[in-house]
């Protein structure tokens, strides 16, 4: 617990300071890209202090100049710094509205162009989906946890439909991302932080243009199948370019 206490003592002030910097930078940036770079710095510093090493596979599967919807499995609070710190690309989070209510941190998220989704309000949720679909058509990539929340038992949960509606509306490819090892660092419901090695696998983009809102369930099964095969069944990563 001593290690955990030291990490928390670093994370709290680091988050406050870098969030303030991000808010200031956001006033001078229309794209939100500089704010995302600051978020990457924040994430990398947390991984370093926590003694976490990340092995990234499959970067050749994506083109940094193209727009994608990234979908990753969700097992730990450390999924966020791993994705932010180790994916050398610009993207925006689709995150639950509660995170935007956190003082300073929430304002920094807004400054970075991240989009909040209020699942308790159906009308607001669909408005967020339309907002993201518009961003995607303008060349912005987004990151989504399709399970909606962290898995309690470590197994893959059912996928929410919102991200797939965005995908078929925009025609933007979905890139499945598989995280392995984060749950042993910090499981849901635990405050204990254990240093460990994480594997981040970027799978090949999945074309969404052949799907519609009526056939989105087929798209959900296809994307979930890719993540399930690697995450649950241990299938070899498909990281060939």
Mean pLDDT along residues 149-169: 87
**pLDDT cut 70: percent of the chain above it:** 94
pLDDT(35) > 60: yes
Q: How confident is the model at residue 235 (pLDDT cuts 50, 70, 90)?
A: low
pLDDT(239) > 50: no
Looking at residue 129, its pLDDT comes to 74
Q: Say which residue, 161 or 129, is predicted with more confidence.
A: 161
Mean pLDDT along residues 24-40: 85
Q: Looking at domain 2-231, does it have CATH number 1.10.3720.10? A: no
Q: What's the gap between Cα 69 and its chain centre?
A: 10
pLDDT(139) > 50: yes
At residue 56, the 3 state secondary structure works out as: strand
Mean pLDDT along residues 69-87: 94
Q: Give the ranges where 27-151 is alpha helix by DSSP (H).
A: 33-49, 79-86, 105-111, 122-137
Residue whose C-alpha is closest to residue 75's, from 224, 186, 198: 186
The reply to whether the predicted model has a pTM over 0.75 is yes
Looking at residue 238, its pLDDT comes to 46
Q: How confident is the model at residue 40 (pLDDT cuts 50, 70, 90)?
A: very high
Q: Say which residue, 104 or 87, is predicted with more confidence.
A: 87
Q: Say which residue, 93 or 95, is predicted with more confidence.
A: 93
Q: Say which residue, 52 or 155, is predicted with more confidence.
A: 52
Task: Give Cβ neighbours of residue 199 (< 8 Å, ≥ 6 apart).
Answer: 54, 55, 57, 178, 179, 180, 181
Which of 21-30, 31-40, 69-78, 159-168 has the weakest average pLDDT? Answer: 21-30
Average pLDDT, the chain: 86
Looking at residue 81, its pLDDT comes to 94
Looking at residue 82, its pLDDT comes to 96
Q: Domain extents for the chain? A: 2-231
Element (H, E) at 143: strand 142-144
- Exposure class string for 186-221: b at 16+ Cβ within 10 A, else e: bbeeeeebeebebbbbbbbbbebeebeeeebeebbe
Taking only the tens place, the pLDDT of each residue in 177-213 is 999 999 889 877 777 888 889 999 999 999 999 999 9
At residue 144, the 3 state secondary structure works out as: strand
pLDDT(38) > 60: yes
């Amino acid at each position: 617990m001593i290690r955990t206490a030291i990490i928390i003592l670093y994370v709290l002030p680091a988050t406050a300071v870098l969030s303030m910097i991000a808010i200031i930078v956001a006033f001078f940036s229309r794209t939100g890209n500089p704010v995302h770079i600051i978020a990457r710095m924040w994430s990398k510093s947390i991984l370093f202090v926590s003694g976490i090493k990340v092995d990234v596979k499959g970067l050749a599967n994506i083109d940094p100049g193209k727009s994608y919807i990234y979908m990753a499995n969700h097992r730990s609070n450390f999924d966020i710094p791993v994705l932010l710190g180790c994916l050398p690309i610009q993207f925006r989070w689709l995150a639950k509205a509660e995170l935007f209510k956190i003082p300073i941190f929430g304002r920094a998220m807004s400054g970075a162009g991240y989009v909040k989704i209020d699942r308790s309000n159906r009308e607001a949720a669909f408005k967020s989906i339309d907002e993201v679909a518009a961003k995607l058509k303008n060349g912005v990539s987004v990151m989504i946890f399709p399970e909606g929340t962290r898995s309690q038992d470590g197994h893959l949960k059912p996928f929410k439909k919102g991200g797939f509606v965005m995908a078929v509306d925009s025609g933007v490819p979905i890139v499945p991302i598989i995280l392995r090892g984060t749950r042993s660092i910090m499981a849901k419901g635990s405050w204990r932080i254990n240093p460990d090695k994480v594997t981040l696998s970027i799978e090949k983009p999945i074309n969404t243009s052949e799907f519609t809102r009526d056939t989105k369930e087929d798209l959900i099964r296809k994307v979930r199948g890719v993540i399930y095969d690697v995450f649950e069944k241990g299938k070899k990563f498909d990281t060939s370019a």
